[in-house]
Structure 1
Amino acid sequence: MTVDPPDLPDPADGPAHIDLGLWAKERHLRGHRYPYVLHALDATAAALVLWDVVLPSGLKRRIAAGLDADEHGARALVAFWAGCHDIGKLIREFQEQVALDLSAYPGDPHPGDRAGHSFVTHQWLVTALGSLGYNDEDGYTAHLVAQLLGGHHGVYPEPLDEYTTPRFQNGPWQEQRERSTRLVHEAAGSPEPPARFETAVAPLVCGLVILADWLVSQEHFLLDRLRTPPSDGGRPALLAHFRASTSRIIDLVQEAGLRRLTTAPASFAESFPGFTPNGLQDSLARHLPGLCAEGGLVLVTAPPGEGKTEAALHAADLLGNATGHDGRFLALPTMATADQMYGRLKKYAEHRSEVGSPLTLLHSMAWLNPEYAPTDRELARGDDLAPTSWLMKAKRGLLASWSTGTIDQALMAALPSRHNAVRMFGLAGKVVVVDEVHAVDPYMQILLERLLHWLGVYRAPVVLLSATLHHSVANSLVKAYVTGSKGKVKRSAPPFVEKIGYPGWLHVHPGSGEVTSNPEPFATTERAPLKIDLVPIPLRDKRPDREQALRDLLSPLVTESGCAAVICTTVAEAQQTRNLLAAWFDALEDPPELFLLHARFPQDQRTRITAELTRRLGKEGAGDGDRPTRAVIVATQVIEQSLDLDLDLLVTDLAPVGLLLQRAGRCWRHEHLGVVARPAWAREPRMAVLVPQEQQSRGHVPRSWQYVYTPSLLMRTHTLLARRAGAHVRIPEDIQSLVDDLYDDPTLIEDVTADIKRMGEELALRTHGRNAVIPTSREVYGDLSPLTKADFEIGEHFLATRFGADSVRVLCCYRDAHGELWLDEALTRRLPATDHEGRMSGDDLRAVISRTIPLRADRNTQPPLAEANRGPKGWEQNFHLHDLVLLVHPVGHGATGEAVLGDRRLYLHPDNGLEERT
């Protein structure tokens, strides 16, 4: 891999001598200082290398278009600007931070009282760029370039105006700044100022500058370059350093794992050998290539188990190859589903990639996934797709060519948070696939719409996947993308999506906004109609009593064979249900296997349970004979998203109809493959929905269910299903009408007050979302500061990607009779300690974090915590440990007691997970 720096002539009258004593870097350099001008030239070289080696062609075209330049000119411009990012370090306030003889630089020419070097970069460049021809009307380009470079630490400064723009004095400081800038300008290829600079493209340039700076600020690179410093500060020696840095930076890019992962054009059959495409996949493969020459957005709607993931991967390949967007990001609703997708995406990349590149997994617990990052030693095992240690550091994962993670990782780019330019830069060169789009609430929907708007601005292709999406939500998402890609949409324009063909797909052209639905009908996987029974259950003190209903429903399984799931609304109810089934099964001579799955297990235990269930009850288990003869899974909503389970019977609490249909996707999931032997009693796929015993739900919805789901939607669903009077649900024919009717049919209203309350709550969530997101591209003309300026008067929690989902991670540990703390109840492993700097060995850290449990935050988890709930001394200095809440269980006299957290009493049960005791 080679990169050619610009051809540099060697005239004798180049820039005057530059002082190598003025520094830019000194931390961790063993007493050395790295000269400022060398760092500037390194950043310039890094931008050139990144442009040539890392940026996909589609992203380069978009940046060039935003600069109204050809790609060669755009390359030179961004390299020049990258070289100027730290010019604010050439001031007395910065240089005198280390012992330095500044006698040759009398006075302090900086006129302001804020000496942060990023701020000074912004101030100085506003006027200094004028000497290089940046003299357009109102100084727009100079102000924009100065502001984006002033934001290279992640936050854009406020714009300057004629009253706040300082005037720097002439003198030796000014001379050094001018000489360094002109040398960097020459090294970059002496680019002319852009004829036009689109504000919306500035974040992409900023992201590139930040990446260049990060690469060449690594200590090992700086120490290596200091081994052969320039002989003097003259032009020939400095340009020789620039040329030498270029080849070394190519190695840095490789070491960091930033090379592009590319795929050659291939048919669906070539992409998935041995896999015969179904009607949906075949339709996309045949018709999408004729529509996606300019990219655009693709929406795929189909039932669970219809192969949407394979369809999305193939559609992403078609879109990426057509537009030069080599990268991929697959966004999933949860960490568990992202972990599963990582394995699938890696297998696909191994088969499809022409050139390998690290594949990253992005969520807060990704480093605990042994398949992703087993140990530091194994990071260097030579696997082309293995993550590098550089990419696994904070905020860098999206810079990998291919990645998958939770949707939150993408939505953060739509929030005014520090370094959102890095996230947007990481996404803009990719095809972005969002799975389970129906899972977003009204708050997250606004964030997703704003993200889609910016992806449209950057012409990044998008694929949206859903099993149960209301047509109005689909229209809002498509409209958001088109307002970015097309530039403007009239308010009076008709809806882009008036109805959804189900199953089906549609393509949205990024330029015209034209929507093309699948051109012709296609065959779908034959599925037996789903029988939905409403099973009334009594309420005891407004709590659901499931026992008799479950005995009636599960008796055939207990006496014969089969596999079933019982989905409860809350963790506490799932634990109680597991207890009552355990009491029943324990009295049997040959009991069924009993599993429990919810979010309040320790991380490692939940991972083991999930892996066993998907292995034994998924497609693989059915084929290799490991499927249980008789088994019952008790679970919460965690079972409904992206888990490959095939059940003979599904029993579920009442929930909004879209979620019920999503859950139903686990019932007879692989029947079409003919690999599952059904018990005699399971004559058809059946979902039994537990509902209040009264004929109508109004006033009788259990209080616990109302905390999780909007009561009006539960009432509407009850009425909607009751009207069907046991009629079978045809899949896929009836899915979309059920999803749409839940919201659109006014005759479903049981309680007008509850319906009005729901609409008010949804409106409030949308309002919170609009207050949280970054502005649209049209709203940031000439000023980037709103992209990183949050309204902290509203509250910092509004920067969360999920509204009202504040949680803490708790660690259950055990205290012996002597007061010593242990990780396990058997008292075999002590609670690990940190050193004086808060460091802990990798094995110990993994052991601690893998045992943590998410718990909803409340007043008991707010600081200051009780002494017993605080981590050991030193933990507060460790990023992974500082905010853990300890739940200390006393152990003694052969028994384990409860942990106390404020006024709450909790207990980690070996089978039930974390229980709340009353």
Structure 2
Amino acid sequence: MVDTRLCGKSDGLATPYPVVGHLVDSAVVCGSVWDRVLAEGQRSRVVEALGVGVSEARRIVMFWAGLHDLGKIIPSFQGMLLKARPAHSGFLSEAAYAHDRWADSTVGRIRHESATHAALPQLLARLGYPAAGGRPAKLLALQVAQILGGHHGRYPSDNDPRDLRNPCARMPELGSGAWAEQRQQHAEALYEVLGRPAVPNACAMSPTTAVVIAGMVIVSDWLASQEHVIEAQQKEIEAQADYGSPTSLRGHARRMGRVAPVLVEDAGLGGAGFRTGGFSELFPDIRSPYSLQLSVAHGLSGTRLRGPGVLLVTAPTGEGKTETALYAASLLGAACGGRGLLFALPTQATANQMYGRLVEFAGRNLLDPAQLTLLHGAADLYAPYARPQSDDAVDAPEPRVVSDCEPGAEWDGRVSVEAGRWLRGRGRGILAPLAVGTVDQALMAVLPLRRNALRHFGLSGKTVVIDEAHAYDAYTHALLLRLLEWLGALGVPVVLLSATLTGDIARGLVRSYLTGADPSSASRQVPVPAYPGWVYASARDDLVLGPDEPVRSERGRKLAVMVRRVAHTYEPDRAGGRLAAVLDALDGVISGGGCAAVICTTVAEAQQTYAALRDHCRARFGAGYLGWDDCSAEDDQRQDAAAGPRLRLLHARFPAGRRAGLTREAERWFGRTDKLGVRRPTGPRGAVLVATQVIEQSLDLDFDLVVSDLAPMAMLLQRAGRVWRHREPSPSRPAWADVPRLVVLAPAGEDGDLSVPGSWGDVYQHSLLQRTLELLERRAGRPVTVPDDVQALVDGVYAEEFVSVAPEKLMERDFRRLADDMARGALAEMVALPSPHRVTSLHSLTTSDADEELVRTRLGAESVQVLPVFENEDGRWLDEAYSVALPESGRGGAGRFTVAEVRELLSCVVPLAHGPWRAACGPAHDPPADWGREPRLARIVLLPQRVTGGEVVGAALGEYQITYDHALGLITRRTA
């Protein structure tokens, strides 16, 4: 009989909870995870891997999940609990285990998950699991031990084969005698409670099956470990004199069986199924679907889809790719038994925008309620996603009511997508049935990071949509290729979207997915889709689908492209300078109204451009000029009566809250005219938005003209997609905007040749800039026909036979680009997980020989979270008006910060690239001491500011002065 004095849980509990209770709880909860969370495709793969029937596979996995904390039955763990809780010394009889000297300080200490890993193979072997034959790493008992030994996030190294016979010989810290006997008693008790699960008919599982099971184990453990769950079981245990007997444990399991489904539902787990129908049925607001949408809907409909596959869609911006992807995802998911969706985008801003669109789509088309999470580091700052502010402390538990009712019994029929607190916990968001976030959240699944099993588990039951598949450098692109391999191996359907993708990259993306699904398909020929167009390739057979007839573009137009070589200066009177060229290009807007965007390469240049435009307008229109910064943007009547164009600046170096407000304002002025709240500037007073690359992707903005710094061809064409983007209803265009127009400003030296400014650094590869410039100038003013010319231009930039007017310079720049790409690709290969078919041990999935500083999803200077703080004799303030004091501590218990306070502070934070300025920071830049108890506040760097003579004097840090300006954002100036 099991010894119920052995403690499994104690933190936060009035009395300790027996190990056996937690083992049974975890196993039963795992059964509900199997029933309600696992997608049909996932379940089938596990059943196939174990070589048994569905019900037997379910019991086997439940048994494994229950065994995860068996390693708590060791001297050091039990002794540690008794030392921390001397009042409960009677919970474990020292006499019963005295011969193992559990309280002796000379006995070594090991972590309980390591003990599970070491002790489990022998126990499984005694239950009939094979203990010989084949390589040790291929033995199922050792693989199961590695899965369970990784339930705290990192898979241990491979077991020693001797663990199958006598683990205590290698690891005496496990404890022999009564300790070993109790571990076996607990394993056998769980085995009996679950009806003696069969031994799988398999030597070992594939790594992709193993990681899914590992994720199930972690989730089951977390759900069963909630305090209110344990406390409810403890009340039942206290009333039983024979607790620990087979009869009592079966009763314990029955009680948990009634509660477990409720726990799964309360956590927000489960599946997300979409209703079926034609495109117009899923998107009733789209009265006339685009040709691309109809083509994909027709091509993928019917019974041709068999299991997972990859869909690649290429089309110009504005062709309805997002709706196409959502519709296709619903079909692909249904075809392979998927139960969820992840929509991955390049940036936080694009993810925020997509969140609202996914909420709308899901709310209309879900069959049952399902929770939706927003996945990125600042998600809780995005107002539509953030939960209502409260005075609850950050770490306050969410009260839950656990009943015996069936999940969904009280559902009123309304489809809800709001994410609850459990899924908002760190690292859990990807487990939601529906998720939208940055692509980094998916890419982390192919980096050797802790709790990778959760990412693999969260991804494996979903359809994954990756937008802007072209938008990454060689390093991140290499990680994307590896991610596609893993998604293929996991049987995850994938939709790839791009407006500008070279043919070679398109093939590489599809080939990586198919290779992951089946390594023998590496040589499989996959056609590149026409532009616009699409191609679908099945992961299970040779099925390849594409349009039955050419896809007609709804965005067909002739784009006037004007290329100007300019000196990279901001002197207003400098003929041939950048500022003069900007003013000349904007003359129509300034004089006759309309809407224009000026897209700059760096934040500093965007600030300079905006300031120069503001000065120019003030000088030209005098006292009658009124910029957006001079009154509320909502004061339309006053704005309309003023002279000159409205001006606004948008970049990443604004406080998070202000940047969100600026983005909403831009959408209000430049968004679709048929949407509520949009008021496009008309008449003689136009509007100019000066910005960086933050507006070129996914923001639904429309301009009469775009002026852009030189950038690689794909990015220029992406930006050009914001020119005359909206066709129906057609916005009112000024007389000067007779055609869609893009003006490209190419930086030139005194000799007129391309001269990339030093301030641009490595933002763009110089060889791509030269190739782009020459290709555009080669057209001699001929317009770019969209979409007909797009693919040739994008591919032409990378052509090996490119004929340059400056071949020596191009050769030098090409060598640098190719070397840089190779170095970045090699670095990605070094830090990424191995291809799924090359994994020989789960240990490699959470451990790497690479420097931990290199294990990231993107290269570049790390951002530091800084907080401008305004100081005067009365203290420190969050605003220059000295009206909001900097909180030294929170209003929660013991000075803890509330959720609302953390959100308010983070809305004032600005990301700033790490640099020499950081080394000059001292105690004056440290946050208050009480901030250290809140992880999201602890690493913030304060930037003291003072208002002197009406001007803000920023923080002096070494050779730099960093100043916050309400209109310009954070300004960094080198003073020496």
Per the normalisation by structure 2, the TM-score is 0.88
5 Å matches for 1:403-442?
403-442=435-474
For residue 451 of structure 1, what is the aligned residue in structure 2?
483
* SS in structure 1 at match of 2:68: coil
**What displacement does 1:837 show?**
6.3
**What displacement does 1:218 show?**
0.9
- CA gap of 1:204–1:411, structure 2 versus 1, over 3 A, is same
**What displacement does 1:167 show?**
3.0
Aligned partner of 1:285 among 271, 274, 297: 297
Aligned partner of 1:49 among 20, 27, 32: 32
Q: Deviations over 1:772-812 (max 9, x none)?
A: 1111122223x210000022xx4212211111241111111
- Confirm or deny: 8 A CA contact 2:560 2:782 kept in the other structure: yes
For residue 70 of structure 1, what is the aligned residue in structure 2?
53
For residue 538 of structure 2, what is the aligned residue in structure 1?
509
- Confirm or deny: 8 A CA contact 2:316 2:532 kept in the other structure: yes
5 Å matches for 1:703-742?
703-742=758-797
Aligned partner of 1:816 among 864, 867, 872: 872
Larger mean CA deviation between 513-522 and 241-250 belongs to 513-522
Aligned partner of 1:496 among 518, 523, 526: 526
**What displacement does 1:513 show?**
5.0
**What displacement does 1:865 show?**
3.8
Larger mean CA deviation between 853-862 and 636-645 belongs to 853-862
Taking the aligned partners of 1:697 and 1:375, their CA distance within structure 2 comes to 57
* SS in structure 1 at match of 2:80: coil
- CA gap of 1:718–1:495, structure 2 versus 1, over 3 A, is farther
Taking the aligned partners of 1:714 and 1:293, their CA distance within structure 2 comes to 44
For residue 661 of structure 2, what is the aligned residue in structure 1?
608
Taking the aligned partners of 2:968 and 2:568, their CA distance within structure 1 comes to 23
Q: Which amino acid aligns with 1:190?
A: R
1:363 aligns with 2:358: no
- CA gap of 1:573–1:658, structure 2 versus 1, over 3 A, is same
Q: Deviations over 1:339-384 (max 9, x none)?
A: 1111100011110011011110011110111211232569999983
Aligned partner of 1:183 among 184, 189, 197: 189
**What displacement does 1:697 show?**
7.2
Q: Deviations over 1:741-764 (max 9, x none)?
A: 101142145421111011000000
Matched positions, count: 892
- CA gap of 1:334–1:358, structure 2 versus 1, over 3 A, is same
5 Å matches for 1:787-802?
787-791=845-849, 794-802=850-858
- Confirm or deny: 8 A CA contact 2:748 2:756 kept in the other structure: no
- Confirm or deny: 8 A CA contact 1:622 1:676 kept in the other structure: no
- CA gap of 1:716–1:68, structure 2 versus 1, over 3 A, is same
For residue 903 of structure 2, what is the aligned residue in structure 1?
846
5 Å matches for 1:83-232?
83-99=66-82, 100=89, 101-108=93-100, 113=108, 115-135=110-130, 137-138=133-134, 140-162=139-161, 166-168=166-168, 171-196=177-202, 197-200=204-207, 201-229=209-237, 230-231=240-241, 232=243
**What displacement does 1:406 show?**
0.5
- CA gap of 1:622–1:554, structure 2 versus 1, over 3 A, is farther
Taking the aligned partners of 1:455 and 1:465, their CA distance within structure 2 comes to 16
Taking the aligned partners of 1:892 and 1:541, their CA distance within structure 2 comes to 27
1:907 aligns with 2:903: no
Per the normalisation by structure 1, the TM-score is 0.94
For residue 685 of structure 1, what is the aligned residue in structure 2?
740
- CA gap of 1:737–1:695, structure 2 versus 1, over 3 A, is farther
Q: Which amino acid aligns with 1:167?
A: P
Q: Which amino acid aligns with 2:718?
A: Q
Taking the aligned partners of 1:262 and 1:126, their CA distance within structure 2 comes to 39
Q: Which amino acid aligns with 1:161?
A: D
Taking the aligned partners of 2:198 and 2:95, their CA distance within structure 1 comes to 36
For residue 634 of structure 2, what is the aligned residue in structure 1?
none
Q: Deviations over 1:450-482 (max 9, x none)?
A: 111111111110000000011121122111111
Larger mean CA deviation between 885-894 and 178-187 belongs to 885-894
**What displacement does 1:112 show?**
9.2
- Confirm or deny: 8 A CA contact 1:41 1:242 kept in the other structure: yes
Taking the aligned partners of 2:269 and 2:932, their CA distance within structure 1 comes to 33
Aligned partner of 1:385 among 407, 417, 442: 417
Aligned partner of 1:235 among 246, 251, 256: 246
Q: Deviations over 1:376-409 (max 9, x none)?
A: 5699999831111111011100111001000011
Taking the aligned partners of 1:697 and 1:335, their CA distance within structure 2 comes to 38
- Confirm or deny: 8 A CA contact 1:838 1:878 kept in the other structure: no
Q: Deviations over 1:516-568 (max 9, x none)?
A: 33232132204321111102212449999322112211112111121001111
For residue 758 of structure 1, what is the aligned residue in structure 2?
817
Q: Which amino acid aligns with 2:789?
A: D
1:316 aligns with 2:333: no
Q: Which amino acid aligns with 1:524?
A: S
Taking the aligned partners of 1:394 and 1:908, their CA distance within structure 2 comes to 31
**What displacement does 1:622 show?**
7.5
- CA gap of 1:453–1:691, structure 2 versus 1, over 3 A, is same
Taking the aligned partners of 1:56 and 1:697, their CA distance within structure 2 comes to 61
Taking the aligned partners of 1:502 and 1:322, their CA distance within structure 2 comes to 26
**What displacement does 1:737 show?**
0.9
For residue 22 of structure 1, what is the aligned residue in structure 2?
6
Larger mean CA deviation between 893-902 and 308-317 belongs to 893-902
**What displacement does 1:281 show?**
0.6
- CA gap of 1:189–1:735, structure 2 versus 1, over 3 A, is farther
Q: Which amino acid aligns with 1:199?
A: S
Taking the aligned partners of 1:334 and 1:831, their CA distance within structure 2 comes to 30
- Confirm or deny: 8 A CA contact 2:306 2:538 kept in the other structure: no
Taking the aligned partners of 1:850 and 1:843, their CA distance within structure 2 comes to 11
* SS in structure 2 at match of 1:432: strand
For residue 483 of structure 1, what is the aligned residue in structure 2?
515
Q: Which amino acid aligns with 1:195?
A: N
For residue 350 of structure 1, what is the aligned residue in structure 2?
363
- Confirm or deny: 8 A CA contact 2:140 2:205 kept in the other structure: no
Q: Which runs of 5+ in 2 are unaligned?
A: 83-88, 169-174, 393-397, 400-410, 625-642
* SS in structure 1 at match of 2:11: coil
Taking the aligned partners of 1:65 and 1:89, their CA distance within structure 2 comes to 32
- CA gap of 1:760–1:333, structure 2 versus 1, over 3 A, is same
1:573 aligns with 2:605: yes
Taking the aligned partners of 1:443 and 1:693, their CA distance within structure 2 comes to 29
Taking the aligned partners of 2:856 and 2:743, their CA distance within structure 1 comes to 36
Q: Which runs of 5+ in 1 are unaligned?
A: 1-16
5 Å matches for 1:657-696?
657-671=713-727, 673-693=728-748
* SS in structure 2 at match of 1:855: strand
**What displacement does 1:699 show?**
5.5
Larger mean CA deviation between 463-472 and 611-620 belongs to 611-620
Taking the aligned partners of 1:240 and 1:37, their CA distance within structure 2 comes to 13
Larger mean CA deviation between 411-420 and 477-486 belongs to 477-486
Q: Which amino acid aligns with 1:644?
A: D
Taking the aligned partners of 2:745 and 2:258, their CA distance within structure 1 comes to 67
Aligned partner of 2:554 among 522, 525, 549: 525
* SS in structure 1 at match of 2:247: helix
1:249 aligns with 2:260: yes
- Confirm or deny: 8 A CA contact 1:599 1:854 kept in the other structure: yes
For residue 858 of structure 1, what is the aligned residue in structure 2?
915
Q: Deviations over 1:601-654 (max 9, x none)?
A: 111111011111112211146787710120001000111010111100110000
Q: Which amino acid aligns with 1:726?
A: G
- CA gap of 1:694–1:861, structure 2 versus 1, over 3 A, is closer
- CA gap of 1:674–1:895, structure 2 versus 1, over 3 A, is closer
Q: Which amino acid aligns with 2:298?
A: R
Identity %: 40
- CA gap of 1:72–1:901, structure 2 versus 1, over 3 A, is farther
